[in-house]
Amino acid sequence: MAQQSAAAEAVPVTTPATGARDKWFRRTLFIPPLGFLVLMTIFPLLYSLGVSLFNYSLGGTAKFAGFSNYVTLFRDPSFWQVTFITIRIALFAVAIEMVLGVLLGFALHQKLPGMGLFLLIIFLPMMLAPLVVGLFWRFLLDQTFGLVDYLIASVGFKPIPWLTHPRYALLSVIIVDVWQWTPFVVLLTLAGLGTVPPDLEEAAELDRASVWMRFKHIYWPHLRFPLLLALTFRLIDTLKLFDTPFILTGGGPGNLTTTLSLLGYRFHFQFFQISTAAAISWVIVIIINIVANILVPQMQKAPRGSEEAVDTGL
């Protein structure tokens, strides 16, 4: 006994000197990621900002243009149309994903036999490459060969021109995004629900709390953070949506499913207006920044009752 406690006391106490060394060591650890960040993020960003301020076109020399690229862009009504379409897709798709994802998450939270396999199936869409998803849905929704219209026709309705009709094309893009990304919300919902202490659920059950009271008081405190995270991720992701409309509808009919990313792509690779494309990508950056600036501070707010004691009550 006595020997053991002597050995325990022999552990060296951190001295101020080693403390300072520690601090420097920790700071040097920052250098590689910082360098990486500068190289891979800051530089391309600044470069594209530079490009958007010049007039690059194929073959010609770059001339400084100030904000004229932006001005032209903002004067173009189709730019505004595309901006609103992008926002509309983002809002609708994410709203549906959130609601559906939370509902499915609660459904899957129950421990039933065979749940493991079911979960795997649910998460499959998220694991597929966007290209695969796009092609797969293009076949499903195709008016002449598609399975969906085949089923619709077989129950006696008129086939729907999913990908070519103005009314349905946008819906198709949203459906595909919902199909692919609802599992992500389910995943985060399940992660949140997994942190709810079971005895709280039981206490609420014995207290006969209504569904709403349970959601608000038992589950929401544990869901708030993961769901805000899901919301932020999904909004950022859908605001720069590119692959689904690119493969599914090509942005058509007309511009009706063209997103900002797709528009930028067209300016760059079809019209070779590289500076306008860069300006568009900067518009996307700004919109996403606004969204992130609203949502991220929400995440940092502590839920009720978890702050340090303020009112001592004495």
For another protein, which is the closer residue by CB, 9 or 207? Answer: 207
For another protein, which is the closer residue by CB, 2 or 309? Answer: 309
Binding region for another protein (CB under 8 A) out of 67-75, 110-118, 230-238, 297-305: 297-305
Does 304 help bind another protein (rule: CB under 8 A)?
A: yes
In the complex, minimum distance from the CB of residue 113 to another protein, in angstroms, rounded to a whole number: 15
Count of residues of this chain found to bind another protein when the rule CB under 8 A is applied:
24
In the complex, minimum distance from the CB of residue 212 to another protein, in angstroms, rounded to a whole number: 10
In the complex, minimum distance from the CB of residue 198 to another protein, in angstroms, rounded to a whole number: 9
CA distances from 40 to 35, 36, 37, 266 (A): 8, 6, 5, 24
User: What are the structure tokens assigned to 44, written together?
Assistant: 């391309």
Does 35 help bind another protein (rule: CB under 8 A)?
A: no
For another protein, which is the closer residue by CB, 14 or 306? Answer: 306
Spatial separation of the C-alpha atoms in residues 231 and 179, rounded to whole Å: 16
For another protein, which is the closer residue by CB, 63 or 216? Answer: 216
Q: Between residue 209 and residue 238, which ones bind another protein under the rule CB under 8 A?
A: 209-210, 213, 217-218, 221
Q: Which amino acid is at 303?
A: P
For another protein, which is the closer residue by CB, 9 or 308? Answer: 308
Interface pattern 193-212 for another protein (x via CB under 8 A)? ----x-xx-xxxxxxxxx--
Does 270 help bind another protein (rule: CB under 8 A)?
A: no
Yes or no: say if 245 and 137 are a contact pair by the CB < 8 Å rule. Answer: no
Q: Between residue 175 and residue 194, which ones bind another protein under the rule CB under 8 A?
A: none
Does 311 help bind another protein (rule: CB under 8 A)?
A: yes
CA distances from 17 to 9, 21, 23, 26, 151 (A): 20, 6, 10, 14, 75
Does 301 help bind another protein (rule: CB under 8 A)?
A: no
In the complex, minimum distance from the CB of residue 312 to another protein, in angstroms, rounded to a whole number: 8
Long-range contacts, stretch 287-292, CB < 8 angstroms, 24+ apart = 287/87, 287/239, 287/260, 288/235, 288/236, 288/239, 288/240, 291/232, 291/235, 291/236, 291/239, 292/232, 292/236
Does 88 help bind another protein (rule: CB under 8 A)?
A: no
Spatial separation of the C-alpha atoms in residues 66 and 52, rounded to whole Å: 8
Does 305 help bind another protein (rule: CB under 8 A)?
A: yes
In the complex, minimum distance from the CB of residue 103 to another protein, in angstroms, rounded to a whole number: 22
For another protein, which is the closer residue by CB, 111 or 304? Answer: 304
For another protein, which is the closer residue by CB, 197 or 254? Answer: 197
**Which residues are at the interface with another protein (CB under 8 A)?**
197, 199-200, 202-210, 213, 217-218, 221, 303-306, 309, 311, 313-314
